């Protein structure tokens, strides 16, 4: 009986091993088939010379807290081999919100914007890079990188039907990485495993091109949609009247800025709108619910940072903020961080603050306060002395760190 039982266990083990072998072989086969689909899609995109794409972008504005829809017509010319600025696109102005008016954005008139992904960027009223990021131009840039990176999980899910056409459904899961607007993969290890990024791409089997891309992120296992791009039409023989697509003939006279120019524009905005102005007052709760006011710090030099979870520059600034808080006399200097994005739950926010090692006072519910301080991005860092904003910067870098250190020494 014992010997029979032993044989049975051996058989079960062998059966399990065989099953595991079969599962592993199936996984490898499915991965190979999926990669072949992606390679064919990349090849199809590379064959495109020019294309006009009608694209609908849907995304959540985590700064102003409302859902946006942007319908745009894009023209892409891939025959220039990267020698010109890049993509040109025309946004007809269909800009909708279910929760807030669009008075802060000039979307009622047509725009022509040319983007260069690091070469030159034409600034206008378009919100950051979202409209062009879901385009065929963006896919051309980032899809090969997703395929070639062995750390990215790629899975083919069940085929689905969109607009009457059958589509492949490919899911990309990125760990400690995300995609920049120009298609580059960047490390996001600063988020300490709190966040995951994924892309769902739906590829039309008939034309072999993506017609929908959904970008999602999860924080502490809670998922949110970042954006969704849906292609209404591809036109591979587009008409391109100069009156529409020539940037120099744009009736809105968009100007070209280098990255250095953009930084100077930011500095000038902060100088003109904030520096040497009276700091708006606030009453905000800390993470235990206790209310704090600006008046509590009236006898100190206060470093005030507007930040949010998932902001890379905000996270990179934490060691510096901890350092200066410890360096100076607490009777003369203090540091306060204000979370200005509402869609982070309290317990998640506490967990993030704890794991990120923030050693300064953190306040919550700062969206309206951020508007009072004309904050447009995170981090925005200000120095307040005697109720007056004496310095303000946007972003975080070694140069900004040195600049803040100098201004603290000057004003403490």
Q: List, for residues 217-240, the tens digit of each pLDDT value.
A: 776 555 666 788 899 999 998 775
- The pTM score is 0.58
CA distance 140 to 374: 36
Q: Check pLDDT > 50 for residue 125.
A: no
273 and 233 within one domain: no
Task: Centre a 10 Å sphere on the Cβ of residue 372 and count the other Cβ atoms it contains.
Answer: 13
The residue range of the domain holding 190 is 30-257
327 and 223 within one domain: no
Confirm whether 23 is domain-assigned.
Answer: no
Last residue of a domain, one of 257, 285, 306: 257
Encoded tokens for 76: 């892409």
Confirm whether 4 is domain-assigned.
Answer: no
**Cβ-contact 369, 340 below 8 angstroms:** yes
Which CATH number fits the domain that encloses residue 98?
2.50.20.20
Q: What is the mean pLDDT of the chain?
A: 76
Q: Check pLDDT > 60 for residue 20.
A: no
Which CATH number fits the domain that encloses residue 403?
3.40.30.10
Per-residue pLDDT of 206-217, as tens digits, reads: 999 999 999 887
Average pLDDT over residues 379-383: 95
219 and 164 within one domain: yes
285 and 252 within one domain: no
CA distance 396 to 261: 17
Confirm whether 25 is domain-assigned.
Answer: no
pLDDT of residue 162: 94
pLDDT of residue 81: 52
Confirm whether 384 is domain-assigned.
Answer: yes
Confirm whether 6 is domain-assigned.
Answer: no
Confirm whether 391 is domain-assigned.
Answer: yes
Question: Three-state SS for 145?
Answer: helix
**Cβ-contact 46, 140 below 8 angstroms:** yes
224 and 160 within one domain: yes
175 and 64 within one domain: yes
Last residue of a domain, one of 229, 257, 285: 257
pLDDT of residue 410: 96
Considering only CA atoms, which of 196, 214, 227, 224 is closest in space to residue 342? Answer: 224
Annotate 168-204 with b (16+ C-beta within 10 A) or e (fewer): bbbbbebebbbbebbbebeebebbeebbbbbbbbbbb
pLDDT of residue 123: 34
Contacts of 269 (CB under 8 A, 6+ apart): none
170 and 266 within one domain: no
Last residue of a domain, one of 257, 279, 300: 257
392 and 271 within one domain: yes
359 and 215 within one domain: no
Please indicate whether residue 137 or residue 319 has the higher confidence score (pLDDT): 319
Size (the chain), residues: 412
295 and 210 within one domain: no
Please indicate whether residue 109 or residue 14 has the higher confidence score (pLDDT): 14
Per-residue pLDDT of 339-355, as tens digits, reads: 988 666 788 889 889 98
**Top-ranked range on mean pLDDT: pick from 92-101, 126-135, 194-203, 318-327:** 318-327
323 and 181 within one domain: no
Q: Check pLDDT > 60 for residue 193.
A: no
Tokens 């091993």 sit on residue? 17
Contacts of 195 (CB under 8 A, 6+ apart): 188, 217, 218, 219, 310
124 and 86 within one domain: yes
**Cβ-contact 181, 137 below 8 angstroms:** no
Domain count, the chain: 2
């Amino acid at each position: 009986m014992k010997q029979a039982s032993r044989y049975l266990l051996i058989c079960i083990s062998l059966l399990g091993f065989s099953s595991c072998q079969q599962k592993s072989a199936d996984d490898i086969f499915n991965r190979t088939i999926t990669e072949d689909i992606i390679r064919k899609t990349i090849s199809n995109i590379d064959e495109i010379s020019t294309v006009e794409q009608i694209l609908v972008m849907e995304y959540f504005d985590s700064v102003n807290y409302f859902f946006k829809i942007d319908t745009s017509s894009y023209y892409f010319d891939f025959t220039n081999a990267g020698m010109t600025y890049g993509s040109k696109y025309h946004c007809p102005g269909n800009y909708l919100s279910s929760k807030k008016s669009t008075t802060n954005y000039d979307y009622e008139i047509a725009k022509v914007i040319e983007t260069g992904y690091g070469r030159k960027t034409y600034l206008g009223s378009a919100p950051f890079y979202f409209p062009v990021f879901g385009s065929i131009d963006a896919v051309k840039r980032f899809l090969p990188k997703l395929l070639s990176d062995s750390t990215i999980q790629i899975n083919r899910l069940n085929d689905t039907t969109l607009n009457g056409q059958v589509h492949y459904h490919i899911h990309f899961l990125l760990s400690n990485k995300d995609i920049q607007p120009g298609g580059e993969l960047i490390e996001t290890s600063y988020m300490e495993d709190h966040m995951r990024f994924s892309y769902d791409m739906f590829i039309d089997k008939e034309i072999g091109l993506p017609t929908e891309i959904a970008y999602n992120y999860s924080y502490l296992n809670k998922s949110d949609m970042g954006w969704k791009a849906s292609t209404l039409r591809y036109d591979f023989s587009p008409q391109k009247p100069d009156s529409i697509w020539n940037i120099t003939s744009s009736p809105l006279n968009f100007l070209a800025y280098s990255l250095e120019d953009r930084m100077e524009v930011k500095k000038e905005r902060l100088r003109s709108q904030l520096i040497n102005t009276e700091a708006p007052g606030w009453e905000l709760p800390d993470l235990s619910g206790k209310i704090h006011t600006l008046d509590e710090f009236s006898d100190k030099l206060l470093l005030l940072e507007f930040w949010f979870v998932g902001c890379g520059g905000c996270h990179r600034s934490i060691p510096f903020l901890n350092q200066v808080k410890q360096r100076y006399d607490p009777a003369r200097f203090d540091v306060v961080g204000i979370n200005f994005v509402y869609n982070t739950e309290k317990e998640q926010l506490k967990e993030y603050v704890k794991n990120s090692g923030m050693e300064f006072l953190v306040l919550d519910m700062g969206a309206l306060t951020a508007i009072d301080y004309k904050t447009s991005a995170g981090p925005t860092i200000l120095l307040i002395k005697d109720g007056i904003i004496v310095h303000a910067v946007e972003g975080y870098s070694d140069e900004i760190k040195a600049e803040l250190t100098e201004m603290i020494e000057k004003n403490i």
